Structure 1
Amino acid sequence: MSQFTDRMIRAAKLDVNVYEEVEADGEAMGQAMGVVILSSLAAGVGTIGTGGIMGLVLGTAGALAGWFIWAWLTYLIGTKLLPEPQTQSSPAELLRTIGFSSSPGLLRILAIIPGLGAIVFMITGIWMLATMIIAVRQALDYTSTLRAVGVCLIGFIVQAVVIGLLVSLFGAPQGAM
């Protein structure tokens, strides 16, 4: 199995060691961004059934934009607003870890199956939140998982509001977000 695939599977399994590994591997940025792009494409494909080609385009773009907003907010909240005394991280370290936390998002492609869309997006969303919490805890050297939960939830809520505002302003096909 390739290192890339192995890392994605381990990340989805909440393997703490893979998050430490990619945090320390400066060469893993391309892989991490590959996971984010594949996960976003899977979200777009998953919306084809309800949104057609526009669902594919807007679903992919929305997932990618949402991830970048959430990543940026997570860095700011985790390192500037809620750091622990030992917190040390660069944007690149955090992006590598949370990039791999998008691994469960590849399953969003299954939302293309009629009748499964909402449940697939709900399950993968919860799973991705769990992987994000582990990634943040490891990248920011938190001793408290609860702090990582707070950072992720605050970032997610702000990101959801921003995406919601963009959708209300520009519209999106049903199921694209």
Structure 2
Amino acid sequence: MLDAGTYRDVEQDTAANGQAALTIVLAALAAGIGAILSRDVLQNSLGVILSSILQWIVFSFVAYFVGTTLFSNAQTSVTPGQVLRTIGFAHAPKLFLVLGIIPILGWIAGLVVFFWFLAAAITALREAFEFDTGRAIGTGLVALIGILIVDIILAVVFGIGSALFGGFSAVGRSMF
């Protein structure tokens, strides 16, 4: 999952779009199964999958924008599809998030998988953009910040929205 040649091949293979998306969905399912002890997976499975797909798209497009504007060089010739494919495959280590179902291993697996994903994403970006490692790290870190911002916005919007609607329904129950 850190083989540069694999990412080079995926970058050029437009038929791998579906496989990249499938990797994202399977990784999301693995994360959902791994989190079975901490929440109702059946209730949140769709949310986990949609969130993972959104994070993949945001990471890829932020990386594309940053890589083609801030960090571009003479060799930079990449399409959004190439970035989506390579980053999709970089999510493969997240399949190991299924280990989260084991109480002691869950947080350890999560930490290892996070850094493994970062290494895979940096390798994918380096190959897709034909960057040196420093530019790939910079692009990856900015894209990661993009995901964090989107996650915070979604948490605020849906968290506050849930709290408000929950509060209103509690008031309604007490009144009737």
Cα distance in structure 2, aligned partners of 1:166 and 1:71? 18
Residue type of the alignment partner of 1:151:
T
RMSD (Å) for aligned C-alpha atoms: 1.7
Does 1:47 find its partner at 2:32? no
- Deviation digits for residues 142-171 of structure 1 (CA, Å, limit 9, x no counterpart): 1x1011000000110121122022113313
Which ranges in structure 2 are unaligned for 5 or more consecutive residues? 161-176
Match of 1:125 among 114, 120, 125: 114
- Deviation digits for residues 107-128 of structure 1 (CA, Å, limit 9, x no counterpart): 1111122233322222111100
Which ranges in structure 1 are unaligned for 5 or more consecutive residues? 1-11, 173-177
Match of 2:139 among 137, 151, 154: 151
Alignment of 1:67-82 (within 5 A): 67-82=56-71
Cα distance in structure 2, aligned partners of 1:98 and 1:130? 11
Q: What TM-score do the two structures reach when normalised by structure 1?
A: 0.82
Q: Is the 8 A contact 2:99 2:106 kept in 1?
A: yes
Q: 1:55 Cα deviation (Å)?
A: 4.2
Q: Is the 8 A contact 2:71 2:139 kept in 1?
A: yes
Does 1:62 find its partner at 2:29? no
Residue 5 (structure 1) aligns with: none
- Deviation digits for residues 31-53 of structure 1 (CA, Å, limit 9, x no counterpart): 11111111122122222210113
- Deviation digits for residues 81-131 of structure 1 (CA, Å, limit 9, x no counterpart): 221111000111111111111110111111122233322222111100100
Residue 24 (structure 1) aligns with: 12
SS of the aligned residue for 1:116 comes to helix
Larger radius of gyration: 2
Q: 1:56 Cα deviation (Å)?
A: 3.3
Q: 1:141 Cα deviation (Å)?
A: 1.0
Q: Is the 8 A contact 2:27 2:92 kept in 1?
A: yes
Match of 1:111 among 100, 111, 114: 100
Residue 21 (structure 2) aligns with: 33
Does 1:161 find its partner at 2:149? yes
